[in-house]
């Protein structure tokens, strides 16, 4: 699977019941949009549909096309769900998909390099970025309060130096 052609859209957290249903966490801005695609790739296997059965709080209980037992579904627990980039709408000139920011350099407005953006997290209080420098990863808030500029050409994210108090 060529990762440039796919976008991480969700994750399978566990099993639900005996019919092979799975617990899914969506990473999309509108979580239910996860069910609007015609191709999903999980563990390098392509699936034609992910069917929403019901939701429990922020987790969706789903059926994966072609999986009808708990034994089959076990193979996909703790796996990521990818969708084809080509199935996403084109972005406007001033927009960018968060996934496209992975590997951007993150620096303070003073010029101090903090590292590379390696991952996005969302624990319910808003997006957080994982910035890795060497072997150390720091988690920083990703909000308008801290973002000064995102330059896609330079692959650079500049954040407010006021965030420095969070990283010391």
**pLDDT tens for residues 73-131?**
999 999 999 999 988 888 888 888 888 899 999 999 999 999 999 998 877 778 899 99
Per-residue pLDDT, 72 = 94
Q: Is the pLDDT of residue 67 over 60?
A: yes
The two three-digit tokens of residue 37, written as one number: 């695609």
The β-bridge partners of 150 are 157
Q: Name the pTM for this structure.
A: 0.74
Q: What is the pLDDT of residue 29?
A: 83
pLDDT score for 3: 67
Distance CA 152, CA 81 (A): 26
CA 20 to chain centre: 24
Give pLDDT, residue 93.
Answer: 85
Asked whether residue 166 carries a pLDDT value surpassing 80, the answer given is no
Among candidate residues 167, 162, 159, 116, the one with its CA nearest the CA of residue 139: 167
87 φ, ψ (degrees, to nearest 5): -85, -5
Count of CA atoms in the C-beta half-sphere (13 A) of 97 = 15
What domains are defined for the chain? Answer: 3-87 (2.40.30.60), 98-160 (2.30.30.240)
For residues 101 and 151, the answer to whether their CB atoms sit within 8 Å is no
Closest CA to 19 of 81, 74, 58: 74
The pair of structure tokens assigned to 168 is 């010391």
Order of strands, sheet of 80-84, starting from the edge strand that comes earlier in the sequence? 45-47, 40-42, 80-84, 6-16, 21-26, 59-64, 50-56
Which position has the higher pLDDT, 78 or 57? 78
Residue 165 pLDDT class (50, 70, 90 cuts): low
Say if strands 50-56 and 147-151 run parallel, antiparallel, or are unpaired.
unpaired
Q: For 145-162, how does the pLDDT look when each residue is reduced to its tens digit (9 = 90+)?
A: 899 999 999 999 999 988
Strand partners, 58: none
């Amino acid at each position: 699977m060529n990762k440039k052609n796919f976008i991480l859209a969700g994750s399978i957290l566990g099993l639900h019941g005996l019919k092979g249903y799975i617990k899914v966490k969506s990473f999309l801005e509108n979580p239910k949009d996860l069910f609007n695609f015609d191709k999903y790739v999980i563990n390098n296997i392509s699936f034609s549909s992910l069917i929403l059965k019901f939701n429990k709080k922020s987790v969706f209980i789903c059926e994966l096309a072609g999986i009808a037992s708990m034994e089959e579904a076990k193979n996909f627990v703790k796996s990521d769900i990818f969708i084809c980039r080509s199935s996403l709408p084109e972005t406007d000139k001033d927009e960018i998909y968060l996934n496209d920011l992975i590997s951007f350099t993150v620096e303070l407005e003073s010029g101090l390099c903090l590292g590379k953006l390696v991952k996005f997290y969302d624990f319910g209080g808003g997006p957080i970025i994982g910035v890795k420098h060497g072997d150390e990863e720091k988690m920083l808030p990703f909000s308008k309060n801290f973002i000064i500029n995102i330059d896609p050409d330079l692959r650079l994210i500049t954040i407010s130096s006021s965030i420095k108090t969070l990283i010391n």
